[in-house]
Structure 1
Amino acid sequence: MDSGIFFAILSFVLSCHFAHTNAQLRVLNGNDIAIEQTPHTVAILLKKGYKYKCVGALVSMELVVTSAKCVAYRLNKEFIAIAGIDDLSEIRTERAQQREVHKIRAHNQFNFEQGYMDIAVVTVDSPFSSTNAIKSISICPKDALDKEGTLLKVSGWGSTELGSMITSNRLQTADLRTMDKEKCRNLWKHHGKYFADTIMCAGRPGQNPYYRDRGAGGLVGGQLCALVSRADESGRFPSIFTDLTNEEVRGYLVSKGVVINDDC
């Protein structure tokens, strides 16, 4: 059978199935979460117009890890990082702590198309002050994602409707399940390009990170194990994450000053 016909049929079957089973589901499932429950979560904005760009995770009071796709190819002075809020309408209030971005360090071999080393370490100009709504998070152990079906908690301000580019003012969260990398690779092979060794997969149809959720942390047991890299625009396939249990990724983080305790 011609490959184009095969993938057209596959797409139609998946669309019909998921339209029936997940018609009422929204991306990230539409659940609000208070910032006190996920105090490492940081909003990264373009300074001009205070336009929300993506999510980051606070790994120390002055270091934020995020997707390289969010901040690469731009100057640090174009960004600000805001912590301590779960509603983007509060970015100019006393509740929010705002910091200028002092330095952006994306991996020098970051590959946008393949997702290889889609990670960046952002240094803010002065440390955030610790509160109940602002705390750093530790990197998870190397074996935290070994078991397929591991629960991965993800939070972000991305779009909550398929096909929409309108982001949410309210911080949203979802609990996803990790997927075996080879299974995910087979689902994504129609793209023919997107499987670096530094990625992993999680999610299910109708419940995935989406537009502007890049950089959002994936947590296992309250520790940071992954960062959102890419979501399928149709919402039918699992989302792709940068895998923070990968040795190469961990080595890069350590080289940029992120503390990882592999003895625990």
Structure 2
Amino acid sequence: MQLQILLLLPMAFLLSPGAQAGEYGWQWEEIIGGWVAKPHSRPYMAYLKRKTCKGEETCGGFLVQEDFVLTAAHCADGDITVLLGAHNVRRDEETQQQVSVRRKIPHPRYNETSFENDLMLLQLAELAELTDAVYTIPLPQAGRTVDPGSVCSVAGWGRTSLNSMRTSNILHEVDLEVMSDKTCQEDGLLQHYYKPLKMMCVGDPAEDKGDSGGPLVCDRTAQGIVSFGKRNGSPPRVFTRVSGYIPWIKKTMRGLNSPGSHAESPASLH
């Protein structure tokens, strides 16, 4: 039997007081029906530590180039430090690399009310060293969509229960189903879902699963970033559709004179 876990990932993967807006909430780190991930089987995962006026908060993200991490724009607050190559974020593992952030580049048209354009690039202060435990994940082709019914996955660290503030130090993962646009468009509490070319509807309404901050991985490609959901945490949830932003992502990275990206990933990549 699969371990039934509700993981509220820190940013997206850690639900903090005040993280919700109106009827909606950013599901920081939230995974139900999840299980412990094989150590370093997702070498693209990034754990973001944010020092804010409220204290230390966390988010998830993913490495798309040696000096760039992609995450959600609603994680822009505070001074961010990126931890790569981590399985247990509370242990000093030999695989870990801690890197400061040189620039935060939220999408210029991010709207914190409608959640439109909820993505952000983080330029790292130094290049990540690519290893078996730290590696980039490919991005999709511009405009490429994922068919409803496709089974993808999310991963992260965070709370193990909605009724507890205790978080999981170890990376967990879970499979999620891509839903039709109609599923989110007809959900009264997801009225901001109105641009399907820029958003994805994810999660079976019959099951309470979700995540935010890290990538929605479909066929070893980062197709989505968890953006928002209903305040009570029930599905479906809305992900930013990465393929709708490929021109902006590539233009931004080129403009900052970054080195070439690595499109291939190791066999261990999910």
Give the TM-score taking structure 2 as reference length: 0.75
- How far off is 1:257 after superposition? 1.6
Q: Does residue 257 of the first structure (1) align with residue 253 of the second (2)?
A: yes
- How far off is 1:152 after superposition? 1.3
Contact 1:232 1:239 in 2 (8 A): yes
Q: Structure 1 CA distance, aligned partners of 2:227 and 2:135?
A: 23
- How far off is 1:184 after superposition? 1.4
Contact 1:139 1:260 in 2 (8 A): no
Contact 2:95 2:133 in 1 (8 A): no
Question: Which residue does the alignment assign to 1:220?
Answer: 218
Q: Structure 2 CA distance, aligned partners of 1:94 and 1:250?
A: 33
Question: Which residue does the alignment assign to 1:68?
Answer: 73
Contact 2:146 2:178 in 1 (8 A): no
Which residue identity lines up with residue 179 of structure 1 in the other structure? M
- How far off is 1:97 after superposition? 0.5
- How far off is 1:171 after superposition? 0.8
Considering fraction of residues, name the structure with more helix: 1
- How far off is 1:208 after superposition? 1.9
Q: Structure 1 CA distance, aligned partners of 2:126 and 2:57?
A: 21
Q: Does residue 40 of the first structure (1) align with residue 44 of the second (2)?
A: yes
Which residue identity lines up with residue 64 of structure 2 in the other structure? V
Change (3 A) 1:240 1:119: same
Contact 1:231 1:239 in 2 (8 A): yes
- The aligned runs of 1:95-114 (5 Å cut-off) are 95-114=95-114
Determine which structure has more spread, i.e. the larger CA radius of gyration. Answer: 1
Q: Structure 2 CA distance, aligned partners of 1:88 and 1:50?
A: 18
Structure 1 unaligned blocks of 5 or more: 1-23
Question: Which residue does the alignment assign to 1:81?
Answer: 82
Which secondary structure state, in structure 2, belongs to the residue aligned with residue 129 of structure 1? coil
- How far off is 1:109 after superposition? 1.1
- When structure 1 is superposed on structure 2, of 160-169 and 171-180 the one drifting more is 160-169
Change (3 A) 1:167 1:50: same
Which secondary structure state, in structure 2, belongs to the residue aligned with residue 29 of structure 1? coil
Identity of aligned residues (%): 23
Q: Structure 2 CA distance, aligned partners of 1:159 and 1:195?
A: 30
The count of residues paired between Structure 1 and Structure 2 equals 227
Change (3 A) 1:149 1:134: same
Which residue identity lines up with residue 223 of structure 1 in the other structure? T
Change (3 A) 1:191 1:164: farther
Question: Which residue does the alignment assign to 2:154?
Answer: 154
Which secondary structure state, in structure 2, belongs to the residue aligned with residue 179 of structure 1? coil
Q: Structure 1 CA distance, aligned partners of 2:98 and 2:185?
A: 39
Q: Structure 2 CA distance, aligned partners of 1:106 and 1:157?
A: 23
- The aligned runs of 1:228-247 (5 Å cut-off) are 228-246=226-244
Cα displacement string for residues 7-62 of structure 1 (whole angstroms, at most 9, x for unaligned residues)? xxxxxxxxxxxxxxxxx663332311134210000000025799451111100111
Q: Structure 1 CA distance, aligned partners of 2:48 and 2:39?
A: 15
Cα displacement string for residues 46-94 of structure 1 (whole angstroms, at most 9, x for unaligned residues)? 25799451111100111000000011x44xxx1100001111112x444
Which residue identity lines up with residue 54 of structure 1 in the other structure? C
